[in-house]
Structure 1
Amino acid sequence: MGADLQGSLLDAFEDPELGSLDGLARTELGRGAWVDVLPGWLTGADQVYGRLARDVPWQAERRQMYDRVVDVPRLLCFYGENVDLPLPILDEARDALSAHYAEELGEPFRTAGLCFYRDGRDSVAWHGDRIGRGNHEDTMVAILSVGEPRVLTLRPRPGGSGGAGGAGHGSGVSGPVGSTVRYPLGHGDLIVMGGSCQRTWEHAIPKAAGRIGPRISIQFRPQGVR
């Protein structure tokens, strides 16, 4: 499926393990939105990628786009509440995130949506996770990435000013303040979008030119957020 993974030699031999969440660096985007970023939270991420690519029952979907039906440019799999995830390390990740954000979020992460970006032609357009409660409530979406890095871009939702408050120290964010910001995510990196982010900002994975390796993202969400 897609290009071969160009993983690190060390990562290929490390057992999957989660690090501490104490190193999360927060960037205030403005209008009540923020992101937390932690590079390399999951070690042994290439092993996790290989298991997910091989074992997850990936589904190709088609959607109505204006006057025609088109292929969704990525593969998908969704794990609802009270469903074991495909690897124990992902259950551990969900539990660790729920514990870390318990006071701020006030509820656990309950579902996991997986996306498989096979190469640079796979992408996701600008959107916010506003189906359900995310359309009118502050919430969180935590994304763990394995495989080759792809750029996650964020921008203020059209019709309002983002007023980004500047990049947090060590966040890895690039881009002028108040406009689109970009995070290259892969090989066990974690990003958490919180506050009003799903309502006041949009995010996307743009198409990429050249030889781009595959990436899988795991999105953890609370109940009633999609």
Structure 2
Amino acid sequence: MIEKSLSKELSINEGEWTDLPNGSVLWIPNFINPLESNSVFDALYHDLTWREDKILMFGKRVTIPRLQAWYGDASYQYSNLKLDPLPWIDVLQDLRHRCETVAECPFNSVLANLYRTGQDSNGWHSDNEPELGEQPVIASLSFGATRRFSLKHNATKQKVIIDLPAGSLLVMAGELQRHWKHCVPKTARYVDPRINLTFRQIYK
């Protein structure tokens, strides 16, 4: 067992499930090898239909600071934005099945995010929309540049902070989306583009 300290408050283990207060996570930093990871990044970057969307925040419509694409079998809605699915493509289908095997959970949709620079980000939020069910399982795959990922408990404010490298898999499960928020913060340093895939099950 290799234990990696991620913050002063909490740590998680590489390659196995870690129980956190009100949830659990699985982190596999080398889920996909570097050569394949580079190939997958190129395929996703060029083949996905990326879009720039606006969401409602504090009564105003603002542009999301990243590009995104929604693929799968069901629509998804958050922050007054409805995403209708595009049909699966081969590279997404393959990654979906591999994530299902590890997460031991079926997935029928995936949200792809393209972080073009260090100024692209994803603010504090939970994936807790009703159509995701009571205890959503979210499988997150990273490709391209390494970016920091933070988790914060709603009540205790405990944090887990981890740098997600290319080819890494992070699975969030249990009651995590009800009791924790997560984010990908901006960074002032130069970073290459990053693509993140979050596989999920939508209950229609």
TM bin (shorter chain):
0.7 to 0.9
TM-score, scaled to structure 2:
0.79
Q: Closer, same or farther in 2 for the Cα pair 1:42/1:84, shift >3 Å? A: farther
- Which of 24, 40, 47 aligns to 1:48? It is 40
1:23-42 matched pairs, under 5 angstroms? 24-31=15-22, 33-42=23-32
CA displacement at 1:84 relative to structure 2:
4.8
The residue aligned with 1:147 is 144
Query: How far apart in 1 are the matches of 2:203 and 2:118?
Result: 31
Q: Deviations over 1:80-101 (max 9, x none)?
A: 228653343x322222332344
Counterpart of 1:201, as a letter, is W
d(CA) in 2 for partners of 1:24 and 1:222? Answer: 23
Q: Distance in 2 between matches of 1:152 and 1:138?
A: 21
What is the CA deviation profile of residues 28-81 of structure 1, one whole-angstrom value per residue up to 9, with x for unaligned ones?
Answer: 2112x0110001211211111112111211000122332533211000100122
User: Cα distance, 1:181 vs. partner?
Assistant: 1.1
Report the counterpart of residue 85 of structure 1 in structure 2.
Answer: 88
CA–CA separation in structure 1 for the residues paired with 2:26 and 2:61: 36
**Where does structure 1 lack aligned partners over 5 or more consecutive residues?**
1-22, 163-178
Aligned pairs for 1:36-185 (under 5 A) are 36-43=26-33, 44-81=36-73, 84-88=87-91, 90-102=92-104, 105=105, 108-134=106-132, 137-157=134-154, 160-161=155-156, 179-185=158-164
Rounded to whole Å, the distance in 2 between the matches of 1:101 and 1:191 is: 10
Distance in 2, matches of 1:204 and 1:52, equals: 22
Q: Deviations over 1:168-216 (max 9, x none)?
A: xxxxxxxxxxx21112113110000010011111100001111111100
1:144 CA drift (Å): 0.5
For 1:123, give the aligned amino acid: S
Q: 1:139 to 1:67 in 2, by over 3 A?
A: closer
Structure 2: which 5+ runs fail to align?
Answer: 1-13, 75-85
**Contact 2:103–2:171 under 8 Å retained in 1:** no
Q: Structure 1: which amino acid aligns with 2:20?
A: L
d(CA) in 2 for partners of 1:87, 1:147? 19
Q: CA RMSD in A?
A: 2.1
Supply the AA of the counterpart residue of 1:98.
Answer: E
2: distance between equivalents of 1:97 and 1:217? Answer: 13
Q: Secondary structure at the match of 1:42?
A: coil
The TM-score normalised by the length of structure 1 is 0.72
Kept in 1: contact 2:100–2:107 (CA 8 A): yes
Amino acid at match of 1:62: K
> Partners of 1:181 and 1:128 in 2: how far apart?
15
1-structure distance, mates of 2:60, 2:101: 44
Q: Which amino acid aligns with 1:223?
A: I
| Partner Cα distance (2:53, 2:128) in 1 | 20
